[in-house]
């Protein structure tokens, strides 16, 4: 089976390509904006910037399945003059353009990696229901809106053309190569910074990079994945303090958690103008990932402990290479 992976230079894309190359059933080709990162056994196509007019034809020849990872990533404090337009140009119109050209090229299946943010920003209380595929979407920012509109457009294309569309909504992904907030947290724990989160009582679902790429691989071949939307998670949700403790154990460091009451943290958020960030940190994000397990008989192959150990191994190696 010939599989085209877009956004192959990214965090998830590189891991997915390595995973697919291990399976001799697949021929893998990647679509990248510029120079491709070399992976043995993979051919590359440069497609330039992703937008509504991107030419995909030369990358789609003979392709059976497209895994679409390319997109404009979520930015916490977006300074673009029109963030929604910027996100939609790539995440919505760029995705739908790729899908229409995939149909014209005879592609059978289009797998779109969306985001759990399409469902909302999480739950205020641990007692609230976890997100699942039956709940109506509730995107609250420009990034999530652009992802939802791409999902809806893909479903319209599927209904009118017969293209099999699979939509995956992962939460925060961690693993070797991770960046952004997870990497910052890992650095703080490694450096022994005291963190005022010892009394936080929440529940956060995440997904390990290895589990995400394994789920994508399952969706490439499984007949029951066609025209389904699946939420993904490790299935081992933790509170923020417990995540810090597990990270500390993997790093071989003590977890320095200060028992600051949550009300104090919320007041500090108000005073510093960072209430949104504080509320997100204290709140829960619960994901019911049972549908993909039931429909595809899929089980995450890696535990959170294994995922954190692999992440720390990469982190230590990256530290040494910077010396």
Sort strands 164-169 and 228-231 into parallel, antiparallel or unpaired.
parallel
Q: How far apart are CA 255 and CA 249, in angstroms?
A: 8
CB neighbour burial string for 163-182, b if at least 16 within 10 angstroms, e if fewer = bbbbbbbbbbbbbbbbeeeb
For 227-282, the pLDDT digits (tens) are 999 999 999 999 999 999 999 999 999 999 999 998 999 898 899 888 877 887 88
* Sign of the alpha-carbon dihedral angle for 71, 74, 78, 82: positive
Sole residue written with tokens 């390319």: 70
CATH topology of domain 2-176+206-235+286-302: Rossmann fold (3.40.50)
Query: What predicted TM-score, i.e. pTM, was given to this entire model?
Result: 0.93
Identify whether 131 is a catalytic site residue. Answer: no
Q: What percent of the chain has pLDDT over 90?
A: 75
Please, how many CA atoms are within 13 Å of residue 220, restricted to the half-sphere of its CB? 26
Q: How far apart are CA 14 and CA 292, in angstroms?
A: 23
Average pLDDT, the chain: 92
User: What's the pLDDT at 303?
Assistant: 95
User: What's the pLDDT at 124?
Assistant: 78
Q: For the ranges 66-70, 74-78, 194-198, which has the lowest average pLDDT? A: 74-78
For 165-188, the pLDDT digits (tens) are 999 999 999 999 998 889 999 999
Alpha helices in the chain, H assignment, sequence order? 11-21, 57-60, 83-87, 93-104, 142-161, 180-190, 209-221, 240-251, 262-272, 275-282, 290-296, 304-322
User: What's the pLDDT at 125?
Assistant: 78
User: What's the pLDDT at 54?
Assistant: 92
User: What's the pLDDT at 152?
Assistant: 98
Q: 113: part of which helix (H) or strand (E)?
A: strand 109-113
Q: Which of 93, 112, 143, 302 is catalytic?
A: 143
The answer to whether residue 76 scores a pLDDT higher than 60 is no
CB neighbour burial string for 191-223, b if at least 16 within 10 angstroms, e if fewer = eeeebbbbbbebbbbbbbbbbbbbbbbbbbbbe
CB neighbour burial string for 233-262, b if at least 16 within 10 angstroms, e if fewer = bbbbbbbbbbbbbbbbbbbeeebbbeebeb
Domain ranges (residues) in the chain = 2-176+206-235+286-302
**DSSP code per residue over 34-50:** SSPPP-TT-EEEE--S-
């Amino acid at each position: 089976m010939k599989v085209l992976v877009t956004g192959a230079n990214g965090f998830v894309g590189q891991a997915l390509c390595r995973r697919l190359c291990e399976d001799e059933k697949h021929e893998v080709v990647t679509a990248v904006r510029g120079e491709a990162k070399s992976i043995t056994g993979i051919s590359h196509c440069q497609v330039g910037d992703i937008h509504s007019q991107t030419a995909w034809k030369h990358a789609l020849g003979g392709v059976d399945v497209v895994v679409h990872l390319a997109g404009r990533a979520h930015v916490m404090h977006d300074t673009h003059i029109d963030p929604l337009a910027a996100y939609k140009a790539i995440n919505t119109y760029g995705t739908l353009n790729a899908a229409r050209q995939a149909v014209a090229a005879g592609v059978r299946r289009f797998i779109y990696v969306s985001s759990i943010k399409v469902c909302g920003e999480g739950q205020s209380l641990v007692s609230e229901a976890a997100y699942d595929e039956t709940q109506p979407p509730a995107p609250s920012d420009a990034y999530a809106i652009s992802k939802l509109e791409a999902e809806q457009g893909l479903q319209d294309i599927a209904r009118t053309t017969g293209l099999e569309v699979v939509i995956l909504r992962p939460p925060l992904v961690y693993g070797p190569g991770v960046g952004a907030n997870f990497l910052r947290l890992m650095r703080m724990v490694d450096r022994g910074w005291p963190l005022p989160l010892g009394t936080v009582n929440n529940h956060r679902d995440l997904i390990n990079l290895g589990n995400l790429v394994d789920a994508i691989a399952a969706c490439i071949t499984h007949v029951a994945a066609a025209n389904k939307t699946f939420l993904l998670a490790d299935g081992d949700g933790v509170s923020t303090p417990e995540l810090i403790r597990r990270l500390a154990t993997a790093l071989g460091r003590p977890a320095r958690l200060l028992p600051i009451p949550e009300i104090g943290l919320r007041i500090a958020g108000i005073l510093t103008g960072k209430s949104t960030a504080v509320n997100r940190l204290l709140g829960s994000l619960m994901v019911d990932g049972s549908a993909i397990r039931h429909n595809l008989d899929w089980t995450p192959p890696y535990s959170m402990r294994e995922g954190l150990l692999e992440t720390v191994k990469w982190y230590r190696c990256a530290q040494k290479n910077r010396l």
